[in-house]
Every structure is written in C-alpha cells, then in structure tokens.
C-alpha cells in the first residue's frame, strides 16, 4: 500500500530535519539503514514504526548527533542560523529511564542544564518547571530507586525537557511499561506536545501507540531499514482515550498494520 | 543504591551480606553472630581437651610445645605482649602505608587508563606481571635491591595490595550506563565531566569491594616480606620465625592469632566503611552537583 512520501507542509516551509540517502554501517559490518530519505516538518509528531532491529533507533540516534551516517547526510534546513541545533535544543528520551541511581530526582534533571551552562536560580526554576510538567513536583528529593517504572520514565522525560528543547527525540520510551501507565503517559505526552508546539520524533514498534500519538507514521522495512510507507494520521487533536474506540482509529490501525506486514515481507525486510 | 550493592556482592560473593540485608533482622543477626561463635567455642573446647588428654593421659608432658592448648596460647599472648606488641605495631604500620599507596596508585592509574588508551596499553600488561609474580619469589630480590628495609617491606606489601584496586576500579570506571554516556555526549560534556559525574560514582562500589580484599592482602604482603627478612625486621612475622628458633611454640601461635585478628579487623573495618559510603553516596553526589 506504499503511499508516495508526503510533501512536508506543501513546500511553504523547508522541513526542520531532512535525512538524505542516509546509510549506516556499523564497525562489525552490519548495515543498519540504507537509502533512508525522510523529511520531518516543524511541529509534526512523527512515529518511526518498524520491526525490531530495523534501524529506527539508529536513525533516531543519528538525528540526535550520536554517531554520524556512513554515507548520505542529515540536515536541519528549517533550523534558522547554524546547520545543527545547539546543545539543549534537542531532547532525547531513551528506552530505559537511564537515571543516575546515586543522585536525587532533582539532581538528575539538573545535569543537562549544568552541561549547557545553566546554573543557580535559573537552573532551579527550570528543574521545578520540568517536574511540574510531568507531575512529579513533590518527588524532587526522592532517589530513582524509590520511584515506580512509570515515574522513573517521567523523570527521564523531565530531564529531556529541562533545557526547553524544540525537538524531542524518543526511543521507545514506554516500551517497558505496563499498558495502563503507557496510556496515561501517551495522553500526557500529547498534551505537552500540543501545549509547547514541539517537533517529536518517536520510535516505537507498537502500531496502536503510534496511531494514537502521531500526526504521521513512517513505516520502515526490516534491516537494512528504509522507508516503506508514509501514513498521515489525519484525526484531529486533542485525542482522548475515546479516540481509541473510534472507527477512524481502527481504520488507521488496520492500514498501518497492513503496511507493517508488507514492510516485513519486502525483499531484505526479513528479521 | 540497589545497583551499587549488587555490584559489591558480585565482587565479593560472600553471600553473608546479601542474606543480612534480605533476611529478617533480629533472628538473622543472632544466628549470624551466634552460630560462628558457638562453632568456634566447640572447636576450641575440643582442642583444649585433646591437648589435655595428650599431656595427662598419654603422658606426653611437652605436648604444649608441639600443639599448644588455646589457654596456653592465651597465656603466651599476655606474658609475651611486651615482645609481640611492638612487632605488631610495626607490621600494622607497613600494612597501612602499603594500602594507602595501593589506593593512591591503583585509583590514579585506573583513572589514567580510562582517560587514555595509550597509557592503558603501555602499562596494564606490567601491572598484570606484578600481580602474577609470586611475592615470595621476588621478596628476597626486593629486599636485597633496596637498602632500606622499611621501604623494601612496604614495596612487598604494596605489590600484593595494588592489583585488586587497579583492576576493580578499571571495571568500575567502565561500568557506566551507556545511555548516560550518550546523554553526556549529546550535551557536549568533556571527558573530565564524564569522569566526575558518571565514572567515579559508578566505580565507587567496585573500588570499595577491592579495598576490603586489598586490606587483607597488604597485611599478607607485609608478613611475607618480614618472613623473608626475618633477621632484620622488627615486625610481628619476624617474631614468629624467631620464636620458632627458640622453640617458643606458644608464642608463635600467639603471634599468629594476632595477625589473624588483625586481618579480620581490617576486613570488618572496610566492610563498615563500604556500607557507610554506599548508604550516603547519593547524598555526596547531590552535594557535588551544587
């Protein structure tokens, strides 16, 4: 059902992030992604969906600047001055909470600020703001081990938000959580995205999660990863839990599932 | 904290610590202290009885010079205290210095290794050579080469104590969560920032586990050195050799008891320090942040 790649915002504005013929081969010879073309517009909520090992995390990490492409390039045409956003303008949320076990919640969130040179009262303000956003204000002095899995993930998100990023890159952030917690965090994430007009790139292997969240889903083939289908999800925001019951939601889930099945059957797409 | 403790237990799988923490507290503690004490008393009682039997029933009147009874050893410990105590202090002082230098050089080198592959590749093989060479074999060389006996004994003890600290700290410095390393890279942190914020805190449990091992090893190293240099050393081990020449067997045993007790005390001391540091380690990290 491969749809043609969607033109981003009708050419009125250059895409914020552009991946052009990106290829990544690891030192051990594994070809993770190849010929990856992807344009992500400002304020989009884009999900990269694909079977595990399809290189979607690798693509996300390259966007974050963690490891350069072997060939091809990643540009930020929509990003004003410099070619790349400054440190702190991009927030990254890992699959695991990756918190420092020896530091309290507030200290964990404060680290990125210290690293980009925000200190003192301003840093205090930002930490409080980030904790407020994820609803953990009263847990500032707790240690990570004292929190539940969902709360740790909230701390991890707050840490990414503390620098007030414009772009949020999320690598299967909710994969390890139970469904109830995941639904709540999905909802909260959408609220935050709408309130702050971020651009979000969200890696997931869940069809349902990606349909619920995204304004656009990019379905990738198995390794080496390429774009197989590009599905706009045109359901209006705000989306509440009720959206999960609608016919539109089910329709998108079927479409995306079919695209995913196709992508996995595509040549070179086996896992 | 949980992670930290797991790391310690991996290093020193005594098991006792894990059970201590997990088990029910009061009965657990009672069993943990009561059982070994009871067992010890039974052994000592049997030993005492055996020696008494050999002397009084078998009629071997000098049996106390073959295997002295626990009470005889205790008497020797008190009576010969003026001979043993100065030696004990000397050995203790060598042990402490050796451990100090093992920590300074072990941690220092581990940090240098983790900052520079060049340094690691150049020096690490030689650290291994130091570790695998039997100290008994090279102690005579060290004592002959170095004119100053105190220094020679210090070097012997240091060689034995140094490697566990180096090797464990290296592993600890490398055991940082890769996600955290990625995070720091994204925010453009320097290598020193990563060292201070991530590597050193991650290494702390590994280092503390090594400290417990090395404390005992530096005592062993000091004793071995003194054995080799017995004629000149004022240390406790030299008193053992001396007593054996004089056929003062109870005194030998008394000195041996003193050495063992010292080793046990050192282990308990650093177990205590380790628990204390890991319990408060979160606090210290928060303080460093400000």
Instruction: Please give the Cα distance from B80 to B88 (Å, whole number).
Output: 12
- B219 min Cα distance to partner chain A (Å): 32
Q: How far is CA B258 from its chain centroid?
A: 15
Q: B182 and A88 in contact by Cβ < 8 A?
A: no
Strand A31-40 with A17-25, pairing: antiparallel
Same domain, A216 and A142: no
Task: Answer for the pair A219, A260: CB distance below 8 angstroms, yes or no.
Answer: yes
DSSP string, A72-121: EEEE-TTS-SSSSPPTTSEEEE-SS----TTS-HHHHHHHHHHHTT--HH
Residue A95 lies in a domain: no
Whether B289 and A116 lie within 8 Å, measured CB to CB: no
Interface test with A, best of B8, B182, B198 (most A CBs within 10 A): B182
Task: Say whether pLDDT at A269 is over 50.
Answer: no
**Short-list B164, B175, B173, B194, CA closest to B103:** B164
Residue given tokens 């030689």 in the structure block: B126
User: Does the distance separating the beta carbons of A92 and B186 come in below 8 Å?
Assistant: yes
Q: What is the pLDDT of residue B24?
A: 61
Domain tally for chain A? 2
Identify whether residues A190 and A148 lie together within a single domain. Answer: no
Instruction: Specify the pLDDT at position A216.
Output: 96
Taking the CB of residue B241, how many other CB atoms lie within 10 A of it? Answer: 18
- Distance (Å) of CA B248 to CA A230, B218, B276: 91, 27, 42
Q: What is the pLDDT of residue B177?
A: 92
Taking one residue from A and the other from B, the number of pairs with CB-CB distance under 8 angstroms is 68
Provide the pLDDT for residue A145.
85
Instruction: For residue A103, give the chain B residue with the closest CA.
Output: B282
**Candidates A100, A102, A112; nearest CB to B187:** A112
The enclosing domain of A258 has a CATH number of: 3.40.50.300
Decide if A159 is inside a domain.
yes
Q: In a mutagenesis test of the A interface, which of B197, B285, B287 is the best target, namely the one with the most A β-carbons within 10 Å?
A: B285
Closest partner residue to A115 among B189, B282, B284, by Cβ? B189
| Domain match, A52 and A179 both | yes
- Predicted confidence at residue A208, as pLDDT, reads 93
Residues of chain A with C-beta less than 8 angstroms from the C-beta of B177: 98
- Is any Cβ of chain B less than 8 angstroms from the Cβ of A140? no
Pair (A178, A64) in one structural domain: yes
For residue A169, the chain B residues in CB contact (below 8 A) are: none
User: What Cα–Cα distance (Å) separates residue B213 from each residue in B89, B155, B259?
Assistant: 21, 18, 16
pLDDT at A219 over 90: yes
The answer as to whether A271 is a domain residue is: no
Is B186 at the interface with chain A, CB within 8 A? yes
Contact: A102, B282; criterion CB under 8 Å:
yes
Asked if residue A92 is part of any domain, the answer here is: no
Q: How far is B12 from chain A (nearest CA, A)?
A: 21
Q: Are residues A75 and A187 in the same domain?
A: yes
In a domain, A199, yes or no: yes
- Whether residue A210 is contained in a domain is answered as yes
Q: Tokens representing B97?
A: 């210095």
pLDDT of residue B160: 93
ipTM associated with this complex? 0.87
The β-bridge partners of A91 are: A168
- Rounded to an integer, what distance in angstroms lies between the CA atom of residue B26 and that of residue B31? 9
CATH topology of domain B69-289: MetI-like fold (1.10.3720)
The reply to whether A31 and A141 lie within a common domain is no
Residue B85: CB atoms within 10 A of its CB come to: 12
Range of the domain at A112: 102-165
| Segments making up each domain of chain B, as ranges | 69-289
Chain B residues whose beta carbon lies within 8 Å of the beta carbon of residue A60: none
Please report the pLDDT score of residue A82 as a whole number: 58
The verdict on A116 touching B (C-beta cutoff 8 Å) is yes
**Per-position pLDDT tens, chain B of length 290:** 333 433 333 444 444 444 445 556 677 778 888 898 999 999 999 999 999 999 999 888 888 888 999 999 999 999 999 999 999 999 999 999 999 999 999 999 999 999 888 888 888 888 888 888 888 888 889 988 988 888 999 999 999 999 999 999 999 999 999 999 999 999 989 999 999 999 999 999 999 999 999 999 999 999 999 988 876 788 898 888 889 888 899 999 999 999 999 999 999 999 888 888 787 543 433 344 33
CB contact under 8 A, B186 and A87: yes
> Nearest residue on chain A to B183, judged by CA atoms?
A92
Residue B185: its chain A contacts at CB < 8 A?
66
Would you say A104 and A147 are in contact if contact means Cβ atoms under 8 Å apart? no
Domain membership of residue A71 (yes or no) is yes
Would you put residue A98 in left (φ > 0), alpha (ψ -120 to 50) or beta? left
CB contact under 8 A, A94 and B286: no
pLDDT of A197 reads: 85
Cβ–Cβ contact B57 with A under 8 A: no
pLDDT, position A268: 54
Instruction: Say if residues B16 and A160 touch (Cβ distance below 8 Å).
Output: no
Most confident of A194-198, A221-225, A226-230, B93-97: B93-97
Taking the Cβ of residue A149 and every Cβ of chain B, the question of whether any pair is shorter than 8 Å is answered with no
pLDDT score for A97: 92
B186 vs A104: CB contact, 8 Å cut-off?
no
Overall average pLDDT of the A91-115 stretch? 93
Listed residues A165, A180, A211: the one ending a domain: A165
Give the model confidence (pLDDT) of A7-34 as tens digits. Answer: 444 456 788 999 999 999 998 988 999 9
Average pLDDT, chain A: 88
Contacts A65 to B, Cβ<8 Å: 186
Of B177, B180, B182, the CB nearest to A66: B182
- Together in a domain, A115 and A28: no
Shortest alpha-carbon distance between residue A246 and chain B (Å): 38
Considering the domain architecture, whether residues A154 and A175 belong to the same structural domain is answered as: no
Q: Does B100 touch chain A (CB under 8 A)?
A: no
Put simply, whether B201 touches A (Cβ < 8 Å) is yes
Does A94 fall in a domain? no
pLDDT at residue A211 above 50? yes
Shared domain for A80 and A187, answered yes or no, is: yes
Which residue in the set A65, A96, A101 is minimally distant from B3, CB to CB? A101
């Amino acid at each position: 059902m491969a749809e043609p790649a969607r033109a981003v915002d009708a050419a009125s504005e250059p895409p914020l992030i552009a991946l052009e013929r990106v290829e990544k081969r690891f030192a051990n010879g594994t070809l993770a992604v190849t010929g990856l073309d992807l344009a992500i517009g400002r304020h989009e909520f884009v999900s990269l969906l694909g079977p595990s090992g399809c290189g979607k995390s690798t693509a996300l990490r390259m966007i974050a600047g963690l490891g350069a492409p072997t060939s091809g390039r990643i540009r930020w045409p929509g990003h004003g001055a410099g070619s790349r956003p400054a440190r702190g303008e991009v927030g990254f949320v890992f699959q695991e909470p990756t918190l420092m076990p020896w530091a309290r919640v507030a200290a964990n969130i404060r680290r990125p600020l210290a690293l980009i040179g925000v200190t003192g009262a301003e840093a205090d303000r930002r930490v409080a703001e980030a904790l407020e956003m994820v609803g953990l204000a009263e847990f500032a002095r707790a240690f990570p081990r004292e929190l539940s899995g969902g709360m740790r993930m909230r701390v991890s998100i707050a840490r990414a938000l503390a620098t007030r990023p414009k772009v949020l890159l999320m690598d299967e952030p909710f994969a390890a959580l139970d469904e109830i917690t995941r639904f709540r965090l999905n909802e909260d994430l959408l609220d935050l995205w709408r309130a702050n007009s971020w651009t979000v790139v969200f890696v997931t292997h869940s069809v349902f999660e990606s349909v619920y969240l995204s304004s656009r889903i990019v379905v990738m083939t198995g390794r080496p990863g390429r774009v197989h289908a590009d599905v706009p999800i045109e359901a209006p925001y705000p989306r509440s839990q009720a959206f999960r019951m609608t016919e539109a939601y089910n329709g998108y889930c079927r479409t995306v599932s079919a695209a995913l099945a196709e992508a996995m059957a595509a040549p070179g797409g086996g896992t | 904290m949980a992670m930290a403790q797991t790391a310690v237990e991996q290093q020193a799988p005594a098991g006792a610590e894990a059970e201590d923490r997990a088990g029910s507290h009061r009965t657990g503690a009672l069993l943990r202290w009561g059982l070994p004490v009871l067992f010890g008393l039974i052994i000592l009682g049997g030993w005492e009885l055996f020696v008494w039997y050999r002397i009084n029933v078998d009629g071997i009147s000098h049996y106390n010079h073959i295997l002295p009874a626990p009470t005889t050893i205790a008497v020797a410990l008190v009576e010969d205290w003026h001979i043993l105590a100065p030696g004990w202090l000397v050995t203790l002082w060598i042990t402490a210095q050796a451990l100090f230098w093992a920590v300074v050089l072990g941690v220092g080198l581990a940090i240098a290794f983790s900052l520079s592959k060049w340094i690691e590749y150049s020096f690490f093989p030689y650290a291994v050579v130091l570790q695998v060479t039997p100290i008994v074999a090279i102690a005579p060389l060290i004592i002959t080469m170095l004119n100053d006996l105190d220094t020679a004994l210090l070097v012997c003890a240091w060689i034995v104590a140094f490697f566990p600290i180096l090797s464990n700290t290296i592993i600890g410095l490398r055991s940082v969560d890769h996600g955290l390393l990625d995070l720091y890279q994204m925010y453009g942190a320097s290598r020193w920032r990563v060292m201070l914020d991530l590597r050193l805190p991650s290494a702390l449990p590994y280092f503390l586990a090594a400290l417990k091992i090395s404390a005992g090893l530096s005592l062993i190293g000091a004793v071995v050195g003194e054995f080799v240099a017995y004629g000149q050393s004022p240390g406790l081990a030299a008193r053992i050799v001396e007593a054996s020449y004089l056929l003062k067997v109870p005194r030998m045993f008394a000195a041996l008891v003193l050495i063992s007790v010292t080793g046990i005390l050192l282990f308990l001391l650093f177990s205590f320090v380790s628990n204390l540091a890991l319990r408060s380690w979160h606090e210290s990290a928060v303080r460093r942040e400000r």
